[in-house]
Chain A
């Protein structure tokens, strides 16, 4: 049916409830720490976190770097790993979806790697790369490549078979069908992969940095624990979450622009 049902006007309460809820949440958080219900060794009040945030904008104590340096290191590592996974994973997935030979050759290795959570690669990475940049890039890469391959693959598999048959009646070769039909068809799934892979990249980055790093947001969180400063831990967590959210929104917007015409 073409018509939307008559909408009942949103009561005013519903509009302000979200804001009230958030305020109550922070209020409760602040209170439980200030009154000592939760010891300050376990949790830091939002006010303390805020103070530290402002301090760390310029100071490098006590963990060795300014907040923006940490953030930038993390973004750098995640970014490189993410881009590499796109560069390798997407074409591989697309090819695997269409060409049996390529699928046959790569699938077993992929299926073996796939169930291994990227976190499990950390010890091996430390063996191979030490604690530096490339170890973390590898972890992020191996985590983010999986959704890229899968989504690209499924995207190609979902190409409308009628369109393929039609292309064949025009005498198109396998390669032509692949480039002109399968790849464009797979674009929505590919964009899905971009988002998923990014989420994976960011998550695994934190894991990698928790264990083996000397800078970065994950390092900041671990440092906070080691120094017994829960406000540092919370600051790190909030920054991680915030950047993750921002990037997610950015990709959403790009996707809406680029895929505006195609119905998902």
Chain B
């Protein structure tokens, strides 16, 4: 092998092939997943029918039927899609407002010690307060209109966004700034060429957390006082003693939350192609 070939190795992940045997199939992960799912549905159905938990559990069949019904029948003036959109819209609006303030503020705090000294103490006071605790204040201020719900989401998503953009900049290898200076750049180049792109992945990590906090907030707000949305659907299910509505609503919530999470991951892959994909879940 010539020396230059050694020097020109590219690192790509290598996949191993494993032979297929019956024992392997039975212990295969995906097969077990399928078994597990079937078992789960079966047990669920049995528990619901046997009324072990009284009348407070609906069978999977009932749930699906109820959801299908909601696609066409209007509940409080909106179909299922309408409610989904209401909740999602609130999350998106709240999150956008929060990140527009939090991300630049986090960067600023990490770059300027004076801004940091002014903002961080106040931030640290508010940080441990769960966003949901703000619901009562939000209702006092905004009533039961859209504003109160969006407000909670802004409060909730603000913290992770700020923390992540702040840490993203703080954890940059300081030698990278040296590189810019040696190549002839100035402070503004350092910020533009190093801070922003390096903070990107951290900001996206913040997105995932913010998103899940956002969902929690919107649901909590809708449970307390709302006239539409997915949270409202499940509280209606409770009021009308219709467990199929409650469970159906929860299933849709799970689905929508999962989808938005996937979208954010996809967005991250698009915007940060250089980030090595670490094995996660």
Given contacts A116-B257, A120-B234, A123-B246, contact A109 B130 (CB under 8 A): no
Residues of the A chain whose Cβ atoms lie less than 8 Å from the Cβ of B220: 119, 207, 210
Given contacts A104-B35, A206-B133, contact A14 B281 (CB under 8 A): no
Q: Does B27 count as interface, using CB distance less than 8 angstroms?
A: yes
Number of chain B residues whose Cβ lies closer than 8 Å to a Cβ of chain A: 65
Chain B residue, CB-CB nearest to A228:
B140
B53 touches A18 (CB 8 A): no
Given contacts A106-B36, A206-B132, contact A22 B249 (CB under 8 A): no
Number of chain A residues whose Cβ lies closer than 8 Å to a Cβ of chain B: 63
A116 touches B129 (CB 8 A): no
Residue of A108, A115, A211 with most partner-chain B CB within 10 A: A115
Residue of A101, A150, A207, A238 with most partner-chain B CB within 10 A: A207
B258 touches A120 (CB 8 A): no
Interface majority SS on A: helix, strand, loop or mixed? helix
A210 touches B135 (CB 8 A): yes
Query: Which of A47-55, A62-70, A176-184, A219-227 contacts the other chain?
Result: A219-227
Residues of the A chain whose Cβ atoms lie less than 8 Å from the Cβ of B36: 104-109
9 closest Cβ pairs, A-B complex: A104-B32, A241-B129, A127-B56, A123-B238, A17-B117, A203-B130, A245-B128, A225-B136, A244-B128
Binding site for B on A (CB under 8 A): 5, 13-14, 17-19, 21-22, 25, 41-43, 100-101, 103-109, 112-113, 115-124, 126-128, 150, 153-154, 157, 202-203, 206-207, 210-211, 218, 221-222, 224-225, 230, 233-234, 236-238, 240-242, 244-245, 248
Binding site for A on B (CB under 8 A): 27-33, 35-37, 40, 53, 56, 113-114, 117-122, 125-137, 139-141, 174, 212, 215-216, 219-220, 223-224, 230-231, 234-235, 237-238, 243, 246-247, 249-250, 253-255, 257-258, 261, 279-281
